[in-house]
Structure 1
Amino acid sequence: MNIYTKILIGLVALTALILAFLFFRKRKKEEEQKEILKEPIKIYDKINTLMRSSTQQYSTRDLSKINKIILHHSAATGQTAEDYARYHVQSNGWPGIGYHFVIEKNGDIIQGNSLETVSYHAAGKNTESIGISLSGNFMNEQPTAAQIKSLKQLVAHLRAQLNKNLPVSGHRDHGQTSCPGTNLYPIISQL
């Protein structure tokens, strides 16, 4: 057997191992998603109570356009969905809060926009994505255990609701920003 044949056999064996690893990793994630979905999720609907512009409206989309989830952090401490909505409307001049969901420090999931809404959270990606922001500055602090648990629940819920295995990425994967922060970004691999 010559060296090339040995290398070829080695490459085939390595490819088989990688494919097996990826298959079992995918299967494990699917099982984790099913387990997470067994717990009831509580989403506080504040679509009609958060500050909105009186002169502007976000456009809408068909749910079939959604193909990803983009994760953010607020980059501020001690603030809530109400504060972000006020800032987005009054300072940015937006129609409303930029995120579809905000996960507060205590794990409460706040819905700020319907899934059909094309809100402003990641330039160039808004039509195809759902924006989720966790309250906190994750360049300096860690997300709480309650936030991580709620994030996993929300992602599993959205995937089931839309019947799509939506990939999750960080805002920084789509633009010049450090968002969602150094301490939150690694969590994406667990989703």
Structure 2
Amino acid sequence: MTSSPLQVVIHHSAGATCSTQSTCSAQVRNIQSYHMDGRGYSDIGYNFLVGNDGNVYEGRGWDRRGAHALNVNSESIGICFMGDFTGQKPTAAAIAAAKSLISCGVSLGKIRSAYSLYGHRDVGSTACPGNLLYDDVKSWGRYVRNRPMGVVGWG
């Protein structure tokens, strides 16, 4: 990628929640297998994943285009919370880790400082990232309810 993305898209895996480093590492491998074997992706679709243990796990990382949100992959970083957050919120540690990751990305120049934040449902027809995580994301600052069409973030 030649330029930093202008958008951050928050997801949830809608699968099992993990709360220890060993269970979260196993969950990352499960998601990667599903994406590669079940969906035919070249790798895990998300740039990063966050566990309820409060750790961030690298998917595609900062410098590879994600495969997480159709039509915005080329202009966004995808962060997936591992678990189903329709009826429960992620832990405070997980939310803090995601916010810290975004701040780190801005500091490293991997995310533009004027980035916009979206829930996956704001950029696609889905219930992702689950109602309770989505409600929390809307309070993070930089949240934009509807993605303006035609905005390109990679420059």
Band of TM-score, shorter chain: 0.7 to 0.9
Q: Which has the higher contact order (CA 8 A, sep 6+)?
A: 2
Q: Does the CA-based 8 Å contact 1:63-1:115 persist in structure 2?
A: no
TM-score norm. by structure 1 comes to 0.64
Distance in 1 separating the partners of 2:134 and 2:17: 20
Q: TM-score, normalised by structure 2?
A: 0.79
Of 48, 73, 82, the match for 1:126:
73
Q: Is the 8 A contact 1:138 1:181 kept in 2?
A: yes
**DSSP-derived class of the 2:118 partner:** strand
- Structure 2: any 5+ residue segments left out of the alignment? 19-26, 142-155
- 1:70 counterpart = 2:9: yes
Q: Which has the higher helix share?
A: 1
- Are 1:87 and 2:34 counterparts? yes
Are 1:96 and 2:46 an aligned pair?
no
**Alignment of 1:183 onto 2:100:** no
Amino acid at match of 1:110: Y
User: Alpha-carbon deviation of 1:116?
Assistant: 2.1
CA contact (8 A) 1:63 1:116 kept: no
Q: Deviations over 1:19-65 (max 9, x none)?
A: xxxxxxxxxxxxxxxxxxxxxxxxxxxxxxxxxxxxxxxxxx2134x
Equivalent residue number for residue 90 of structure 2:
143
**Counterparts of residues 1-191 of structure 1 (less than 5 Å):** 61-64=1-4, 66-78=5-17, 80-162=27-109, 164-188=113-137, 189-191=139-141
Note the residue ranges of structure 1 that are not aligned, 5 or more in a row: 1-60
- Once structures 1 and 2 are overlaid, which stretch shifts more, 83-92 or 71-80? 71-80
Q: Deviations over 1:63-105 (max 9, x none)?
A: 34x1110000010114621111110001000000000000011
2:120 alignment partner AA: H
The answer to whether the Cα contact below 8 Å between 1:73 and 1:135 also exists between their aligned partners in 2 is: yes
The letter for the 2-side match of 1:62 is: T
**Contact 1:101–1:131 under 8 Å retained in 2:** yes
What is the root-mean-square deviation in Å for CA atoms of aligned residues?
1.4
Alignment length (residue pairs): 130
| Alpha-carbon distance in structure 2 between the residues aligned to 1:166 and 1:133 | 17
Residue identity in the other structure for 1:182: N
Runs of 4+ in structure 1 deviating by more than 4 angstroms, as ranges, are none
